A = this chain, B = another copy of it.
């Protein structure tokens, strides 16, 4: 999926919501646990209920790997289900991979060649050759961790170098040479508030994937104030706050309502910034 197609979808759905399919088997509602593949059953219901308000799904692979082979089967079925039923929706494998060149090339083959997701999150610590193999696939995206939403983000990402540049800024600036706003995005946590200004100074046109709204306490208003650009330029992710909003048989209906709530807040922001009319 290319950038224009993503922007078009945002304008049509009047939403930039990404739903995180962090479908921890230990947290699923009892009503799906009898089915053959509870994680897939759960995801299917969540997807059907939230798709009208959602432009992207982001399974975090940890939740699938946690159950080994079974988890990988659930993941592959989930990706296929989205592609078959909602081909307009952007699929992000939240994998946070990153290895030496030939190994990253293999990860690229796995996620883009085989599973055919649209985007993959990548950790930048190992530098260019750990990221660039992901950039050789058409209409596939690398989403590089820049400034994450967790407390530990301060340990290294805010370290200033000799010239006063923080590490996350260096990651943003250096990685410009590897790809463009047509095949790279960045992770910037919703908990980082005004740092979005620094980010936008360096990457005015790139899409940002923004986790940390909801359970982690980030503010949608602040993210939009400092991070939104003329094409929106944001995918704001909510995981637990949507998918685990209700633990009863109504889980999917309530998840759909939560997604709708987010969509309505997002529509206001898009209108205020003139991205849509």
Contact = CB atoms under 8 A, between A and B. Distances in A.
A65 interface: yes
A106 interface: yes
Interface string A123-137: 111111111000000
Contacts of A171: 156
Contacts of A273: none
A114 interface: yes
A83 interface: no
Interface stretch (A6-14, A91-99, A257-265): A91-99
A101 B150 contact: yes
B167 A159 contact: yes
A174 B152 CA distance: 11
Contact of A156 (B100, B104, B152, B174): B174
A130 B110 contact: no
B110 A129 contact: no
B130 A152 contact: yes
A31 interface: no
Given A125-B123, A145-B125, A103 B60 contact: yes
A170 B156 contact: yes
**Most B CB within 10 A of own CB, among A100, A101, A125, A167:** A125
Contacts of A161: 159-162
A32 interface: no
Interface residues of A, number: 58
Given A100-B150, A103-B62, A161-B160, A124 B125 contact: yes
A219 interface: no
Counting every copy of the chain, the complex holds 2
Contact of A66 (B107, B145, B160): B107
A40 to B, nearest CB: 13
Contacts of A123: 96, 98, 123, 125-126
A24 interface: yes
A66 B109 contact: yes
Contacts of A124: 125, 155-156
Contacts of A170: 156, 159
Contacts of A160: 161-162
A107 B150 contact: no
Interface stretch (A48-56, A69-77, A195-203, A224-232): A69-77
A96 B211 CA distance: 21
Nearest to A240: B102
Contacts of A157: 125-127
Interface of A: 22, 24, 60, 62-63, 65-69, 72-73, 76, 96-101, 103-104, 106-107, 109-110, 114-115, 123-131, 145, 148-157, 159-162, 164, 167, 170-171, 174, 211, 216
